[in-house]
Amino acid sequence: MEKFDVTIIGSGPGGYVSAIRCAQLGFKVAIIEKYNTLGGTCLNVGCIPSKAWLEASEHYYKLQNQFQEFGINFKEASVDIVGMRNRVQTVVQEIINGVSYLMKKNKITVYTGVGTIKDKSTVEIKGEENTHTITTDKIIIATGSKPASLPGITIDKKRVISSTEALALKEIPKHLMVIGGGVIGVELGSVFARLGSKVSIVEYLDTLIASMDSSLGKQLYKSLRKQGMDFYLGTKVTKANVLDNEVQLIAENVANQKEMTLQGDYCLMAIGRKPYSDNLGLEELGIKTDKQGRINVDENLETNVKGIYAIGDVVRGAMLAHKASEEGVFVAETIAGQRPHINYALIPNIIYTQPEVAGVGLTEEVLKEAGRSIKTGSFPFKANARAKISMDTDGFIKVI
């Protein structure tokens, strides 16, 4: 039975970054991944492929809508959806290969299978063909998250889809209905709108990207409407009926309960994600979780079982890849006896639409709610020479 200093369950950004930092600090490290490729949701079916689709669709949109204003003429442009998809997969594979190389370079042992914690020093790994056990001094849970759905609505992966299926579509939807106006909804909605789909976003709240500064949500709403996207804000989806090759959404206005119906060929469920903690053995170990299924941790990201830590999407805080990476480094250095720190307010939040949206620090709403005395200043891009040159005049810079 092989013994390790640190064992990490999950190979997403938090997991593999933590593994590398642990190895750099002199620990013998194992990382366990249930899929055949490293990188978790972010690299395989999340951040990386979505950004590659956003980049490709933006090029096509600018070709169709802006290039002639630059004096660049062309006869006809068309989308090769299969070619785009193949290019995305090539990018994804190259980045996954890079992570595999880093594991080898840092002498990190990689196990493929489902990791279950038997006790604070024992992990069982169940692979496709065999099961074996390793012992370890410390354990870091970095299993990430999976798409969430609404009560009574099933993601069938055919017509009612999650971001995973949306990023693998082999056709451009005629009418893509999106439930949720957060990061995933607006990013993937804008991809298909730029490729020619009719896109309708249904959001329960009265603003887009509600976790960010409200002025950003208002500006993004205006910009995406100009690109042809439809929005139903303050609207609650109650049912999603699959009818042959179409989906019928039934929703109601939150304010007056007035019912409405939308019909399209695909419905993207984008209301967020939930922690992935299946088969970890948390209940048997007595590791506590909250009502949302997130693992409870202290200020050192350690669970109530000493020596077992948790990071990333399975603990409280924003579900961001770079947040998970910061926590992975934090735990590695804590185990090494150092005294690291994380300022969560300094972790940026970015949405890769066009225009891109980004914010760092506490929002105006949070500061006002806390009773802080603040001053704000903003400057519009339409008054900026560089923005005029590139025809990127939507938006502004805001400082609090």
pLDDT tens series, the chain, 400 aa: 899 999 999 999 999 999 999 999 999 999 999 999 999 999 999 999 999 999 999 999 999 999 999 999 988 899 999 999 999 999 999 999 999 999 999 999 999 999 999 999 999 999 999 999 999 999 999 999 999 999 999 999 999 999 999 999 999 999 999 999 999 999 999 999 999 999 999 999 999 999 999 999 999 999 999 999 999 999 999 999 999 899 999 999 999 999 999 999 999 999 999 999 989 999 999 999 999 999 999 999 999 999 999 999 999 999 999 999 999 999 999 999 999 999 999 999 999 999 999 999 999 999 999 999 999 999 999 999 999 999 999 999 999 9
Supply 35's token pair: 């899929």
Dihedral sign, CA of 101, 47, 146, 158? negative
Rounded to two decimals, the pTM is: 0.96
Mean pLDDT of the chain: 97
Q: Quote the pLDDT of residue 280.
A: 96
- Upper half-sphere CA count for residue 136 (Cβ side, 13 Å): 33
Could you say which DSSP state residue 357 is in? Answer: E
Residue 190 is encoded by which pair of tokens? Answer: 């804008």
Distance CA 131, CA 118 (A): 13
Quick: pLDDT tens for 197-234: 999 999 999 999 999 999 999 999 999 999 999 999 99
Tokens of 67: 């290039």
* Residue positions counted in the chain: 400
Whole-number Å distance between alpha carbons of 342 and 345? 9
CA 205 to chain centre: 20
Backbone angles phi, psi at 340, to 5 degrees: -75, 170
What span, in angstroms and rounded, lies between the C-alpha atoms of 310 and 296?
Answer: 8
pLDDT of residue 75: 86
Structure tokens at 281: 């053995």
CA pair distance 235, 201, nearest whole angstrom: 10
Q: Which two tokens stand for residue 103?
A: 């594991």
Cα–Cα distance measured from residue 330 to residue 338, given in angstroms and rounded to the nearest whole number: 9
- CA 85 to the chain's CA centroid: 19
